[in-house]
Amino acid sequence: MRSLALSLLLGPTLALCASSDEWKSRSIYQILTDRFALADGSSPSCDTSERKYRGGTFSGIVNKLDYIQNMGFDAIWISPVVQNVEGDGCKRVLIDNTTYASPYTQLISSILDYPTYFAVFEAFTSTSGNVFRFAETAQQTQKQYKDPFAIGSFIENHDQPREQGYQGVSDPDNREALWLSGYNTENKPLLTHVTKLNAARKAAISSNPDFLSTKAIFHVQQSSSSSTHGLAISKPPLLTLLTNGGEGDSSTGWTVPGNDDNEEGGGGVFEGGETLVDAFTCKEVTVKSDEVLR
């Protein structure tokens, strides 16, 4: 009877666990539970320098799920509300070396992709950033990780500015209470940007059954001054154009992969004369026959 009771108890619990393939399609919102929301909806002051618990709860999170879902997220990553254990324990693979990180992917289904994160940070925090290194690192992850499509990519966390315009900096200043923002969604550029990114990703998944298992193709772009500021990334049906040339930079000409390309990861997807739509501005651009955007 005890075995049967245990089986009945565990059955529904196990059924709620998503598989690695199911997680691949999800956008995950990371929550510092103690600083996200209080159960009673109040907004007390929060002096991060005191390094004290402020009372955020799981109930508070439940009450604010609409805020998260409206940004396009469909999963949350919650931190414990109990005191963390000091000393050695499970650690993030916090390193910028793909060769060092890749063996961990042989042992566990997923890790946070810090090598790519550090490469992105280096490439786009100044106009002299190394865009080529970012492309090289991303290509290495596609080759070296056991399942590169199950790896956790991230663009912000509690160590960086977040959707409400908080400044991040370092511990403990990066632990501001989100309730002080009032969960306002108006005039929040980063929040709007993330929402549009999630929408574009969901649309791509919906339109291409192979999107989640398609490797990206990277094309480093040369500017008119022969410096490297731009990077075109093709992952059908999305084409991502990135530049560290600064706001208003027009020196980079964009060459996109055409159907005759034969690069690792797949051929091109854009025909001459094809119209592409900017996911952020809805502006239309046309692919010339020589695969140059105009």
Whole-angstrom distance, CA of residue 220 vs CA of residue 282: 24
- The last residue of one of the domains, among 153, 173, 207, is 207
pLDDT digits (tens, 9 = 90+) for 173-231: 778 899 999 999 999 988 999 999 999 999 999 999 999 999 998 988 876 555 667 88
Does a structural domain hold residue 77? yes
- The last residue of one of the domains, among 167, 184, 207, is 207
Task: Compute how many other C-beta atoms are within 10 angstroms of the C-beta atom of residue 252.
Answer: 22
Of 25, 36, 27, whose CA–CA distance to 73 is shortest?
Answer: 27
User: Domain of 75: which CATH number?
Assistant: 3.20.20.80
pLDDT given at position 89: 40
pLDDT digits (tens, 9 = 90+) for 41-62: 999 999 988 988 899 999 999 9
Whole-angstrom distance, CA of residue 173 vs CA of residue 121: 20
Sign of the alpha-carbon dihedral angle for 102, 103, 109, 112: negative
Write the burial class of residue 58 (CB in 10 Å: 0-12 exposed, 13-18 middle, 19+ buried).
middle
- Extended strands (E) in the chain: 28-31, 75-78, 217-222, 228-235, 238-243, 275-277, 284-286
pLDDT digits (tens, 9 = 90+) for 237-292: 998 988 888 777 766 667 766 544 444 444 456 777 888 899 989 999 887 765 66
Q: Give how many domains the chain has, as a whole number.
A: 2
pTM confidence score: 0.82
Does a structural domain hold residue 5? no
